[in-house]
Structure 1
Amino acid sequence: MVLDAHGFYRPELGAGADRDDLDAACPLLVPDLDEDALADRFLPETPQRDHKIGKYDRVFAAHAEEGTFRRDGSSGGLGSWMATELLRKGMIDGVIHARPVPRDGAEDPFFRYGISRSVEEVTQAAHSHYHVVEISEVLEEVKCIPGRYLFIGIPCMVKAVRRAQALDPDLSDRILFTMGLVCGHLKSVHWALSLGWAAGIAPKDIDSITFRVKSENVPAKAYYFGLHKRGAPAPEVHDSAPLTGGKFNLGAMMPDACNYCDDVVAETADLTIGDAWLPRYSFDWRGKNMVISRHPELTALVQAASEEGRVIIEPMTAKEAADAQAGGFRQRREGLAHRLARRAARGHWVPKKRDLPDMTLPGLLRARIYNRREEIAQQSRGAFRKALDEGSITLYDREMAPIFKNLRRLELLAASTRIISVRLRALFSRRRS
């Protein structure tokens, strides 16, 4: 896997590559190995199933109470806590996850997959990393070095690991647990560069980036990021919202594949961690996790820690878990149905997806939003490439800022329409009762 000119990983196929094996490994191909089939194979003891969150044993809101996990994490800190708990109890020998790496060139990646074998190494990689990664190198390391591992990744990465486990006995034996991270979509390396450049630091001068920096004065849903300039004594903190393309859901520099994924919550993972974007938690700057456990052993681990006061948990329903990520489900279900129909109508190949109850076609306004997001994902790549080649962020701002503003107006109109509709339904319901 190599980085291309737009900051995305692409495969370089050898002459003897087996196409059938490649298709079986790719998360988007071979529908017989979809999320439902893989969950049935790898999560046989998980009793309940929901069409949005997949199979589940227990669902709850949670945060880590002990140590600094909550303070140091993007949300409630439960992901890092779980990884270190498994290490401390000797249940695993290492954690396979994305970690920050040193950069030399202006377009080098900020993060790569690696294996952490100590609590200190795990905590150094805390936080969300909105950045493309690839897993071929680290899976080769797992095949070379026997051990018991926890794999952490976004839905498509966990699904790819499950498919790899089905193909390779060593990976099946050595990766004991998988933890999924709720995902809206990936971002190219260039998105991180665009944030830094818009904040005043040229790509060649950015040493590192930290996404989702917390502060008492910043709401949990706000996306502030930290930038460390080469040679600077301390990082700078900036709000991503006012920067061109800085609002995450605008879709700047998103891979095409993300537009054809229907898995929001890593349905094939033993445990899923995400933000609990519910009204009762949204104003707590410290963050709260939504947790979906599909593995009885991991459920028991969290419950035991809760009884000891090391983790605070509150029950949630499957519906509340889906509501906590409502925007992601609209994009990945309603939006996906629209994109598939649009491509098919134009005579293009489309991947075969699951037939899910919420894969319904949107109204005209939502359709315009989905169209514009897809256009932005594609146009932003070329615009930023041009800016890099010419050495001027102004070129990117000039081309993309009006398009981002147009999408934002459409989103605000859709949100206001949805709020009015909900309030009218509630009013009519009260009158009938």
Structure 2
Amino acid sequence: MQLNEFGEYLPDTVPDGDQTRAVCPFLRPDLNEDALAERLLPECANYSRELGRFDRIFAAHVLEGTFRSEGSSGGVGSWIGVELLRRGEIDGVIHVLPVSRKNAEDPFFRYGISVTEDELRRGAHSHYHVVEISEVMQQARTAGKRFLFIGVPCMVKAVRRLQLADEVLRANIPYVVSLICGHLKSVNWSLSLGWAAGLTPEEMAEISFRVKSEKIPAKAYYYRVRAHGEREGRVLNSAEVTGGKFNMGAMMLNACDYCDDVVGETADLSIGDAWLPRYAFDWRGKNMLIVRNPHLSSLLVKAADESRLHLELMTPSEAAKAQSGGFRHRREGLRYRLALADSKGKWVPVKRIFSDRKPLPHRRLIYGLRQHCAAESRRAFRKALTHRDFSLYTRHMEWRFKLLRLLEIMIATPRILSVRLQRVKLRLQK
């Protein structure tokens, strides 16, 4: 896998054959999420059209140590890896780690293997950044050890397909955890955030996508960038940066527009944010956990009984509402994008269809403009990089993002008012 000029990973060669089609998460519809879950998660008795199979669903945060304060949300992602290490159930964790950069367009993160608690904690926080798994899968296959794999739904699905064909990887990766995913961003999106903070791509050393502070609500995404030789770095509100607001679609990978798995339906455990009114404004963060492995359910409940975790049961309906934006875009929006591509004679992967309902005209307008912004932003930022002029990107894209945001606010106003009303009620109850 190699980075292209847009900061996206592509294979340098694509071998033809059944094995390639069986592993790629966007091919072989007979190996979709439902089919994989049926074969790999037979103990799950519950099913939801949004969440797939599940054992239990929790809202959670870590009580012990500094997991919650060091994580982007409730801290469960790092905690589960450390817990399995402490219990001797795994020898290491395959996850995304920050890396040193030598060149201006190098990636900020890549997959690695952590075998100690300190190493594992280096990967805490959410990383909205492209990665690839081919190199680390080779390491996992030859290591002769047991690993927990943590990734976004498409990579989890690829790992699960690999495990169907490879007994060694099935034995070496006994646990798979998915992060609930909106979409992936290119390396160039990270560079755009740094440039907006006054750092050129050459000057930028590292980025953290979610800064946690008592003064920052959980739903407000502040990020920190640091230059080479700089200690503290610079913190900005991503919503105030051109293309910085995540759901604007800036430099989103095209493949993400053809994914219908929001929560990682093939994983033993899915972890995300519990974006419900009663949790969304707690700056410390709250995780939503969709558990599909009964052993992990027991492990979590035991930790809660020992006052190391805080758990609250959630219903499937609440869990779907907690990620409602993702489901709108990846289910209703996907139906629109598939029909649009078909009308233009473009190839698209065969996807599951969850509803016969067509998006309303105003929703179609948003989906179309979001797709336009994704495509235009990648070209405009490439031009800015080539000419070393950030204004070529901001001038071209700013009005497009503002128009998209205006449309979203107009349509979402009733929902926003409802959430704020619920927030006021909760405060009065306290």
TM score, norm. by length of structure 2? 0.96
Selected match of 1:360 from 353, 357, 365: 357
**Alpha-carbon distance in 2 for matches of 1:380, 1:372:** 12
Measure the CA separation in 1 of the matches of 2:246 and 2:54: 28
1:395 is matched with 392
TM-superposed CA distance for 1:145, in Å, is 0.9
Match of 1:382 among 379, 382, 395: 379
* Deviation beyond 4 Å, 4+ runs, structure 1: 417-423
Query: What amino acid sits opposite 1:41 in the alignment?
Result: R
Residue 76 of structure 2 is aligned to residue 88 of structure 1 = no
Describe how 1:110-189 pairs up with structure 2 within 5 A.
110-189=108-187
C-alpha contact (below 8 Å) 1:333/1:360 kept by paired residues: no
Superposed, 1:218-367 pairs within 5 Å as: 218-357=216-355, 360-367=357-364
Equivalent position to 1:199, from 191, 197, 200: 197
Which amino acid is 1:142 matched to?
Answer: A
Instruction: State the 1:290 CA deviation.
Output: 0.4
Letter in 2 for 1:409: L
| Cα distance per residue 1:342-382 (max 9 Å; x no partner) | 1112222221111324x632111110000001111111011
When residues 208 and 288 of structure 1 are mapped into structure 2, their CA distance, relative to the original with a 3 A threshold, is same
Mark the runs of 5 or more structure 1 residues left unpaired by the alignment: 424-433
- Contact kept in structure 1, 2:335 and 2:353, CA below 8 Å: no
Partner letter of residue 257 of structure 1?
A
DSSP-derived class of the 1:269 partner: coil
Residues 91-113 of structure 1: CA distance to partner in whole angstroms, max 9, x if unpaired?
00010001000100000000000
Aligned 8 A contact 1:335 1:361 in 2: no
Alpha-carbon RMSD: 1.4
Aligned length: 420
Q: CA deviation at 1:169?
A: 1.4
Aligned partners of 1:250 and 1:373 also within 8 Å: yes
- Name the CA distance, whole Å, in 1 between partners of 2:96 and 2:419: 40
- Letter matched to residue 378 of structure 2: R
Q: CA deviation at 1:419?
A: 6.1
Specify the alignment match of 2:45 in structure 1.
47
Provide the rounded CA distance (Å) in 2 between the counterparts of 1:360 and 1:65: 43
> Is the aligned partner of 1:8 residue 2:8?
yes
User: How far does residue 86 in structure 1 lie from its aligned partner after superposition?
Assistant: 0.2
Q: Any conservation in 1 of the 2:82–2:117 contact (CA below 8 Å)?
A: yes
Q: Is the 8 A contact 2:156 2:266 kept in 1?
A: yes
Structure 1 residues 365 and 142, CA, compared in 2 at 3 Å: closer, same or farther? same
1:22 partner amino acid? T
Question: SS where residue 132 of structure 1 aligns?
Answer: coil
Q: Distance in 2 between matches of 1:49 and 1:83?
A: 26
CA distance in 1, matches of 2:133, 2:165: 15
CA distance in 2, matches of 1:127, 1:187: 15
Q: Residues of 1 paired with 2:42 and 2:391: CA distance?
A: 54
Using structure 1 for the length normalisation, give the TM-score.
Answer: 0.95
What SS is found at the alignment partner of 2:27? coil
